[in-house]
Amino acid sequence: MKATLVIKNIDNLITLKGENRARKGKEQGEIGLIKNGVVAVKDKEIIYVGEGELPESIEVDASTEVIDGKGKTVTPGLIDSHTHLVHGGSREHEFKLKLEGVDYLDILASGGGIHSTVEATREASFDDLYKRAEKSLKTMLSFGVTTVESKSGYGIGDFDTELRQIEVSEKLNEDYPSDIISTFMGAHAVPEEYEGRSDEFVDVLINEMMPKVIEKTNVKFNDVFCEEGVFTVDQSRKILLAGKEQGLIPKMHADEIVSLGGAELAAEVGCISAEHLMAASDQGIDDMAKSGTIAVLLPGTSFNLQKGTIAPARKMIEKNVPVAISTDYNPGSCPSENLQFMMTLGSLTLKMTPAEVITSVTINAAAALDVENEKGSLQKGKRADISIFDTPNLEYMIYHFGINHTDKVIKDGKVVWNKENNRG
């Protein structure tokens, strides 16, 4: 078989070899490291991963693109499994208020916070939203991220805006090398028009918005912000089960601020993942372990909010809950596309080892997006999404923080980003 692309002499080849499923407990730190590794690709597929030289059965000729991996760390294309990629506006004007110690609820009361993003997103045209999201996507790709989850949720009751957000994600998925997987998050907040009548909004969401979104788009997941003052556990259950009945895989923003029983609910309804979880109870963590629900942790949000609340990642790993790490990229609580920085925070603040961290942005993130059979590890038969970092080992990548370590990004067998010319 003739290879179209080969990466050879790789100092640190991180394969994440193993079954196509989320890794938990001790497995979270087992990364299938090969020293002096080699990877061969034919078109969009990985055909060989091993040590030393390629076997004779794999042909290399003048048309094969050969990349030297000396001094490099090679991983599966990184996966950002929780973002609010498509939105209008930004909130730097609130930064000064935040530094002055003005409370978020006061900012919210004066029309700021999520309200200003909702307004900016409602006002933005398809092209405005597309251009802004495309810029972020390019930044993500430059950080080695080849697959991104993207949520709606800034329409807040305005159906056209929710739909436009998903349509922008789908168009970017078509146009851009990265894969974008869409999530319907109509239940991000209770619209002002429905204040005091949130049950009515839940019915509208389930009976009117959800079927239309499913009819008009290829949305895959259904997400709910279950939190005190937002959607209750009972309302969240209703929304998630209704989505499941209509073919959407449930996800949840759970136990971010208050321990409400969100983790327990995520396990009960069979959510593929529960996100944030800073206030998850011990019972909730036990339930998630039993149901196999993945904990998607967002340490950049904790860092940016500076409230000292950190998700109990060590406890989760000890109790066999698989952990993923994402940016939560959004204009309010985490305005950063830099997944490499989140990896550093994963070690420094969540106390995860670099090996556990790389698992959390590859195979476990793939499993949180239900794409673990095609992505998240470097193994024969998988998609050739590969990131090459200019670091002598994995630890260096996480320890030397705040900069971009990417050397090259390969998506579906082609180099789509290169440090030399800053593009594909």
Residue number, 256 or 372, with CB nearest to Zn ion: 256
Nearer to Zn ion, 264 or 328 (CB): 328
Give the span between the Cα atoms of 389 and 406, in whole angstroms: 4
Which residue, 10 or 254, has its beta carbon nearer to Zn ion? 254
Write the CA distances from 414 to 55, 332, 338, integer angstroms.
Answer: 22, 34, 22
Q: In sequence order, what are the residues at sequence separation of 6 or more whose Cβ sits closer than 8 angstroms to the Cβ of residue 139? A: 337, 338
Contact, 178 vs 136, CB < 8 A? no
Comparing every residue's Cβ against Zn ion, the nearest one is 328
The one-letter code for the residue type at 311 is A
Task: Specify the residue, 329 or 417, whose C-beta has the smaller distance to Zn ion.
Answer: 329
Binding mask 271-310 for Zn ion (x = CB under 5 A): ----------------------------------------
DSSP secondary structure code for residue 255 in this structure: S
- Write down the least CB distance from residue 245 to Zn ion, Å: 24
Rule CB under 5 A: which of 162-181 touch Zn ion? none
For the CB of residue 111, give the shortest distance to Zn ion in the complex, in Å: 21
Please report, as residue ranges, which positions from 218 to 277 form the binding site for Zn ion (by CB under 5 A).
none
Residue closest to 325 by CA, chosen among 335, 340, 315:
340
Residues 315-354 that bind Zn ion (CB under 5 A): 328
Which among 144, 147, 143 has a CA at the least distance from the CA of 83? 147
Residue with Cβ nearer Zn ion (170 or 256): 256
Question: 383 pairs with which residues across the strands?
Answer: 45
Name the DSSP class of 206.
Answer: I
Neighbours of 146 (CB within 10 A): 26
In the complex, minimum distance from the CB of residue 322 to Zn ion, in angstroms, rounded to a whole number: 19
Q: Where are the beta strands (DSSP E) in 188-267?
A: 221-226, 249-254
Taking the complex as a whole, the smallest distance from the CB of residue 236 to Zn ion amounts, in Å, to: 14
Q: How far apart are CA 55 and CA 214, in angstroms?
A: 47
Q: Could you please report the per-residue DSSP string of 260-308?
A: -SHHHHHHHTT-SEEEE-TT--HHHHHHHHHHT-EEEE-HHHHHHHTS-
Q: How far is the CB of 21 from Zn ion (least distance, A)?
A: 24
For Zn ion, the closer CB: 27 or 328: 328
Q: How many residues bind Zn ion (CB under 5 A)?
A: 1
Task: Please state the closest distance from residue 7 (CB atom) to Zn ion, in A.
Answer: 34
Residues near 37 by Cβ (< 8 Å), separated by ≥ 6? Answer: 10, 12, 13, 15, 49, 50, 51, 69, 74
Using the minimum distance from each CB to Zn ion, give the nearer residue, 169 or 406. 169
Provide the minimum distance between the beta carbon of 276 and Zn ion in the complex, in angstroms, as a whole number. Answer: 7
Give the shortest CB-48-to-Zn ion separation in angstroms.
Answer: 38
Backbone angles phi, psi at 187, to 5 degrees: -100, 60
Residue 24 Cβ, how far from Zn ion at the closest point, in Å? 23
Q: What SS3 state is found at 193? A: helix
Bin 48: left if φ > 0, else alpha if -120 < ψ < 50, else beta: beta
* Least distance between Zn ion and beta carbon 75 (Å): 24
What residues have CB less than 8 Å from 52, skipping those under 6 apart?
A: 36, 38
Name which of 279 and 394 has its Cβ closer to Zn ion: 279
Q: Measured from the CB atom, is 168 or 384 closer to Zn ion?
A: 168
**Residue among 34 and 297 whose Cβ is closer to Zn ion:** 297
Site string for Zn ion, 80-109 (x = CB under 5 A): ------------------------------
CB neighbours of 300 closer than 8 A, spacing ≥ 6? 327, 328, 334, 336, 338, 341, 342, 345
In whole angstroms, the minimum distance from the beta carbon of 86 to Zn ion comes to 13
Give the residue with the Cβ less far from Zn ion, 328 or 407: 328
* Positions 6 through 25 that interact with Zn ion (CB under 5 A): none
The span from the CA of 154 to the CA of 149, in Å, is 15
- Residues contributing to the site for Zn ion (CB under 5 A): 328
